[in-house]
Amino acid sequence: MKKFIATLMAVVMMFSMAACGTGSNGDEAGGESEGESGGETIKVGVLANTSGDNAMYGNAVANGVNLYIDQLNASGGINGKQVEVVQYDDEGDATTAVNAFNRLMDDGVTAVIGSVLTGTTVAVADETYEVNMPQITASATAAGVTVLDPEDPESEIRTNVFRSCFIDPFQGEKMAQYAYEKSGATTAAVIFETGSSYSEGLATAFVDKCEELGVEVVASEGYSTGDTDFNAQLTNIAAQNPDVIFCPNYYEDIGLIVTQARAAGITSQFLGGDGWGGVAGYASAEDMEGSVYCSGYAPGSTDEVIKFEQDYEAAYGEAVPNMFAPLGYDAAMLMCNAIAEAEAQGLETGSDEYKQAIIDAMAATDGLEGITGTYVFDEQNNPVKSAAMIVLKDGQETFSELY
Amino acid sequence: MNLSILLNQLVNGLQSGSVFALVALGYSMVYGIIKLLNFAHGDIIMVGAYAAWMCMANFGLHPLLSAAAAVVVSTLVGMSIEKVAYSPLRSAPRLSLLITAIGISYLLENGFQLIFGSGAKNVAKYVAPLTSGPSLRLGTVQISFTALITIGTTLLSMVALTLLVKRTRLGKAMRAVSEDMGAAQLMGISLNRTISFTFAVGSALAGIASVLYICAYPQASPTMGSMLGLKAFVAAVLGGIGSIPGAMVGGFAIGIVEALVSAAGLSTWKDGVTFAILILVLLIKPTGFFGRRAIEKV
């Protein structure tokens, strides 16, 4: 038996070694600058992780940004000046992102669009805040991007940093409101992935908002990453028979949870966040029927959205891959509108007053129509916009309303 | 936790434990016969699940036919692995065999990732005819149709396996080889055929487990077998590795422990508890519930 134990130890070691280290293998930061040269231009810096892990997000954002600016330049630019994009790849790495930002400073940009991931965006935001450089991110959802210390309600706010996407808690609150007003729920349950800041963040916000609205949260169940069996948690939830069950996570888990819940005889309505996109393929149509999730972007919902989708496909030869592309498009739109305001005041391009004028104009944005919603910023520079409610109907993810 | 929830959780545990038990049987049988911890065994489940998915999604076969195909494919893959990777090493040190098994495990997982991509394949809509049926209600205990099928099929498979091992000539040969390989050979038992047969039976059970798995958790992904395989291994050790009833009891025990831990709100500790059981068993009673104390001659 000693031999057996020794063998086992060897095996355990081997597995743990194999589990270690797949490093990132991004290339050297390669800058690419596009746009017209000659004549006076307005230089806008773009930071996106267009290589490495999660490059899918970075590329979508960069494509969205460039699409808007190309269209703007084609229609005459801002105040007769062309907008010149100076784009660097930050590889999703905070240090590389800061270096890339320093290069943008040397290049003399007057505003920054980016970065894409939360970590890189916060790192860059620290730098832009120092020099009061206008910055907007299309996709970093953590509260800490625009607020120095998200734990502290009195915290200093990075007045120069904006975003075009929701913040994490927003979706949880939105869905609690929806459960209360639209589903008429009086009891709710949540099932979330413990240790995932996205899933836990949404779940916590949902529970807090439910308590505020008087919806009783009868069960709150966690599961760990990689679980496929949710029967134990669902049995606990079934015993409470809640009106709605909120499960904020990505579509693969959701498919399993909903299928097992229905098999266990749970008839409650399921609600979720934007991680649900694509869930229709992961559970049967009957099981999903009537479930609702909120999303930052409703494909094919309005004429503007359809036009954007056609333009995107014409420019890049592929369909809009995810909500990151339209969010990038909106971020560029918000930034360019604010720049137009600064130009209208006749300030010198790139000067400190010019940058402050951009920031003021951005903060004053009121009701600007984007692809993903109508923009107004709150006092923490987060957009207040309606979420697209997507309903699962006959096995299709169908846009139902802006809520 | 009141009684009805507790009973429901026990049913959940039996359901997930059924899959562990079927996989643990494969581990145990192979260990019993050639003293190999076949770490590629969990991945046979994955192969079976993909086979079923292919049949249903690409060839449009009926789920029952696809289930049969999954069992056949698992069996063939299990046997080929034995022929290609393990049989040339039969006289090599056991550690070489073990390392080969781990290599095969990675080969299967990464190979399938290469061919089919790393995302999960959903089979919910295809297996629906197998999983939609009346659930059983005993007082306050609700047993879903899927759970009924899973537990029922597992029990049937175990009865069949026990008969096979106890009543057939090949079963007798298996028992003889596991008792004493050399002596069995001298008695005219074909070693190759018996070992092949053991792998076939173990892999067929894994194939059945794969079908039950995708009925209950309708997704197939390249790494689905790795954690499942490790837990089934714990189940086999808990029951006493090499023992067939031990593997069954161990599987159900692990399933029930996991269900209760999750139900108590400690789901993050679920895997930890399972592997703590492994450590405790190895420290306190390395032979498990039913294992025989083997005197190893060095």
pLDDT higher than 80, residue B290: yes
The answer to whether A89 and A78 have CB atoms below 8 angstroms apart is no
Report the run of H or E that residue B159 belongs to, with start and end.
Answer: helix B145-167
Among the partner residues A11, A224, A264, nearest to B39 by beta-carbon distance: A11
d(C-alpha A336, C-alpha B26), whole Å: 64
Q: Tell me the pLDDT band of A166, cut-offs 50, 70 and 90.
A: confident
Average pLDDT, chain A: 86
Residues of B in contact with A2 (CB under 8 A): 296
Rounded to whole angstroms, the Cα distance separating B6 from B119 reads 35
CB-nearest to B296 from A3, A233, A239 is: A3
Task: Give how far B9 is from chain A: nearest CA, Å.
Answer: 6
Instruction: Give the pLDDT band of residue B90 (cuts 50, 70, 90).
Output: confident
Residues in chain A with CB shorter than 8 Å from the CB of B15 are: 231
Give me the mean pLDDT over the A353-367 stretch.
Answer: 92
DSSP lists the bridge partners of residue A369 as A374
Q: Are residues A196 and A90 in the same domain?
A: no
Q: Is A26 part of a structural domain of the chain?
A: no
Same-domain pairing of A276 and A173: yes
- Higher confidence at residue B37 or residue A4? B37
Clarify whether residues A150 and A58 are in a common domain.
yes
Contacts of B103 (CB under 8 A, 6+ apart): B85
Q: In which band, very low, low, confident or very high, does the pLDDT at A387 lie, cut at 50, 70 and 90?
A: confident
For B2-57, write each residue's pLDDT tens digit.
Answer: 788 888 899 999 999 999 999 999 999 998 888 888 999 999 999 999 999 999 99
Q: Please tell me which of A151-160, A255-264, B143-152, B205-214 the model is most confident about, judged by mean pLDDT.
A: B205-214
Structure tokens at B10: 């026990």
Average of pLDDT values for A257-270?
90
Rounded to a whole number of angstroms, the distance from the CA of A157 to the nearest CA of chain B is 35
Phi, psi of B221 (to 5 degrees): -135, 155
Task: Quote the percentage of chain A above a pLDDT of 90.
Answer: 48
What are the tens digits of pLDDT across the range A86-111? 999 998 889 999 999 999 999 999 99
Domain residues for A63?
A: 31-166+304-372
Q: Tens digit of pLDDT for each residue in A268-287?
A: 999 998 888 878 888 888 88
Q: Residues A55-59: what's their mean pLDDT?
A: 86
pLDDT exceeds cutoff 70 at A38: no
Q: What is the pLDDT of residue A398?
A: 85
Q: What pLDDT, on the 0 to 100 scale, is given for residue A302?
A: 83
Predicted pLDDT of residue A8? 62
E strands present in A143-215: 161-163, 187-193
Residues B58-80, mean pLDDT to the nearest whole number: 93
User: Do A226 and A255 fall into the same domain?
Assistant: yes
Residue range B116-159, pLDDT digits in tens: 887 788 888 888 788 777 878 877 788 888 889 999 999 999 99
The stretch B170-174 carries a mean pLDDT of 92
Report whether pLDDT(B88) > 60: yes
The pTM of this model reads 0.75
Say if A238 is an interface residue toward chain B (CB within 8 Å). Answer: yes
Q: Are A223 and A349 in a shared domain? A: no
Domain count, chain A: 2
> Is A145 found in the same domain as A186?
no
Mutation for testing the B interface, residue in A235, A241, A396 having most B CBs under 10 Å: A235
Asked, for residue A20, whether it belongs to a domain, the answer is: no
pLDDT surpassing 70 at residue B195: yes
Other Cβ atoms within 10 Å of A159 Cβ, number: 18
pLDDT of residue B1: 57
- pLDDT(B164) > 50: yes
Model pLDDT, residue A36? 40
Shared domain for A162 and A181, answered yes or no, is no
State the maximum Cα–Cα separation within chain B, in Å, rounded to a whole number.
59
Same domain, A272 and A332: no
- Rounded to 5°, the CA angle A366-A83-A34 comes to 130
The percent of residues in chain A predicted with pLDDT above 70, rounded, is 90
Chain B interface, best mutation among A190, A231, A291, by max B CB count within 10 A? A231
Instruction: Give me the total of CB pairs closer than 8 Å, taking one residue from chain A and one from chain B.
Output: 124
Q: What is the mean pLDDT of residues A32-37?
A: 42
- What would the mean pLDDT of B271-284 be, rounded to a whole number? 92
Assign residue A253 the CATH number of its domain: 3.40.50.2300
The pLDDT of residue A118 = 84
Q: Does residue A392 share a domain with residue A271?
A: yes
Which chain A residues have a beta carbon less than 8 Å from that of B296? Answer: 1-3
Question: Six-digit token pair at A30?
Answer: 């390669």
Mean pLDDT of B220-226: 90
Average pLDDT over every residue of B189-212: 93
Residue A209 resides in a domain:
yes
Q: Is A52 left (phi over 0), alpha (psi -120 to 50) or beta?
A: left
Would you say A320 and A299 are in contact if contact means Cβ atoms under 8 Å apart? Answer: yes
Q: Please, are residues A62 and A54 in contact by the beta-carbon 8 Å criterion? A: no
Residue bearing the bigger pLDDT, A167 or B13: B13
Q: What average pLDDT does the segment A294-315 reach?
A: 88
Rounded mean pLDDT, A40-63: 89
Average pLDDT over residues B220-239: 92
pLDDT-based confidence at residue B238 (cuts at 50, 70, 90): very high
Answer whether residue A23 shows pLDDT above 50: no
Whether pLDDT at A25 is above 50: no
Contact A233 B263 (CB under 8 A): yes
Integer angstrom CA distances of residue A39 from A42, A81, A109, B75: 10, 8, 16, 72
A199 cis-preceded (ω within 30 degrees of 0) = no
Asked whether the beta carbons of B254 and B277 are under 8 A apart, the reply is yes
Q: What is the mean pLDDT of residues B191-220?
A: 92
Q: Is residue A296 helix, strand or coil?
A: coil
Which residue in A194, A231, A235 is closest to B268 by CB distance? A194
Asked if residue A328 belongs to a domain, the reply is yes
Each domain of chain B, given as residue ranges in start order, spans 19-226
Contacts for A103-106: CB closer than 8 Å, 24+ residues apart: A103/A31, A104/A45, A104/A47, A105/A131, A105/A133
Q: Which two tokens stand for residue A251?
A: 């579509």
- The answer to whether position A46 is within a domain reads yes
Residue A231 lies in a domain: yes
Residue B207's contacts (CB-CB under 8 Å, 6 or more residues apart) are B44, B45, B48, B70, B71, B72, B73, B74, B75
What is the per-residue pLDDT across A197-233, written as a single tens digit (0 to 9) for each?
Answer: 788 888 999 999 999 999 999 999 999 888 888 988 9
Position with higher pLDDT, A51 vs B71: B71
User: Is the Cβ–Cβ distance between B101 and B31 less than 8 Å?
Assistant: no
The answer to the question of residue A23 being in a domain is: no
pLDDT of residue A178 exceeding 80, the answer is: yes
Q: Please indicate, yes or no, whether residues A151 and A223 belong to a single structural domain of this protein.
A: no
Residue A154 in any domain: the answer is yes
Report ipTM (2 d.p.): 0.80
Residue where the block lists tokens 């996709």: A139
